[in-house]
Structure 1
């Protein structure tokens, strides 16, 4: 019984040793101890020494690689394109102006009204007043002869000839002159003069003038075709004047 048990143990031991030899040693059967796709670890001492030729070539290759940036850095960079200059803007159109004097106005109120009317059309305006001489009438008279007595004697002769409506000027530059009438219409003045002359007296006629103010409005208007001041100011004269 003991021998049979010992024989069975020996057989089991042989089977275990054979299995270990068959399956437990990877190097014997050419299998790797690592998983597939995973690189095998290797000691530095197990790595083969690099050949001498490759050692001499490596510095040259590295030197050439290091020199490459120097060569590329010395080359001039391509010039950036210069943007085209914008086309010059056309010069602004010059506006021309007309300078006129409007008037004369009889009163300052008329001038102020015209200024208000043209306030949205004129570029500039200015008001001014001038003195002018205008006819106040026509005077028919007889020279008095230089003194009061002669003037009175001439007056009595006019009465005798039925020439009425006269008076003797007693003061001023024309003292002792016999006035025969002052007329607005020169035709009436000539008719009176001729009547007295036909009665035998040397009647004369002269124009009487006086200095009166007149008012003007100087305007500067742009020549843009939209100036219609004539349609707004009826009966107002105009003439060219200097610009201001």
Structure 2
């Protein structure tokens, strides 16, 4: 009896379950899953294809990709959090760079370098280089000093040069008087004379000699005076042009100036600046 009763109960239970499955609600809940006004959560796999494509980030714009990431946070927390990190890094690159530790090469401070000292100021002076007998000598010296010269100029001057000493008798009024005086010299045993006939201050004078050494000139003059003639002695000079080079050079250019000045008699002397 007991076995029959159990068998009947099992059959009745199976019939009740089958009836509930056929006639009951298909997946409907008797109680709402959330409060009113709250959107229903859906998985990404349940969304339509168009909505899934729109939720993907767009590479050409950072702002467009960030909005779907925020919207997908409510739908799928795990998927949204994973995709939100690159979007946040793209939206705030400065904050991401600040949060990341600095590289080792940047973290190590470079040793301070020694400060550069300003170049020492050079002092200059003005020199007059010369005299040069020709302009060729001046140009050669100017070219040799060009690398050390701040500025330069050339100038010409007239100089009086000594060409010896002359001994003579004063000029006579006429040539005949000069010739008569010469004959009297010869009678006294004085030779080596010459009657000047050329135009000038010494015309009709009697030249008694030209000497480079003034001592020899004085000796000749004294001999003629002892013979009774008014002999005189004067320096023979000539005015010639010379050239000077005025330069402004550094104070430490002494050796360069000495090498550049090769003309005999030319020197470098201080002068007024220009």
TM-score range, shorter chain: 0.5 to 0.7
- Note the 1:121-200 alignment, pairs <5 A: 121-170=148-197, 171-200=199-228
Contact 1:144–1:154 at 8 Å: present in 2 too?
A: no
1:41 to 29, 33, 50: 33
The Cα offsets for residues 196-244 of structure 1, whole Å up to 9 and x where unpaired, read as 1121111110112111111222222122467432144355312112333
SS at match of 1:180: strand
Aligned to 2:132: 105
* Partners of 1:134 and 1:191 in 2: CA distance: 23
- Note the 1:30-109 alignment, pairs <5 A: 41=33, 93-109=120-136
Say whether 1:120 aligns with 2:120: no
Structure 1 stretches of 5 or more lacking a match? 1-7, 26-32, 45-88
Tell me the CA shift for residue 12 of structure 1.
Answer: 6.6
Q: How many residues align?
A: 184
SS at match of 2:191: coil
* Partners of 2:125 and 2:251 in 1: CA distance: 7
Q: Comparing both structures, which one devotes a greater share of its residues to helix? A: 2
Q: With structure 2 as the length reference, what TM-score do the two structures score?
A: 0.55
Say whether 1:217 aligns with 2:242: no
Q: Do the aligned partners of residues 226 and 16 (structure 1) sit closer, same or farther apart at CA in structure 2, a change above 3 Å counting? A: farther
Q: Do the aligned partners of residues 205 and 23 (structure 1) sit closer, same or farther apart at CA in structure 2, a change above 3 Å counting? A: same
Query: What root-mean-square deviation, in Å, do the aligned CA atoms of Structure 1 and Structure 2 show?
Result: 3.7
Tell me the CA shift for residue 90 of structure 1.
Answer: 7.2
Contact 2:148–2:253 at 8 Å: present in 1 too?
A: no
Q: Do the aligned partners of residues 146 and 94 (structure 1) sit closer, same or farther apart at CA in structure 2, a change above 3 Å counting? A: same
Tell me the CA shift for residue 23 of structure 1.
Answer: 10
Structure 2 stretches of 5 or more lacking a match? 21-27, 37-115
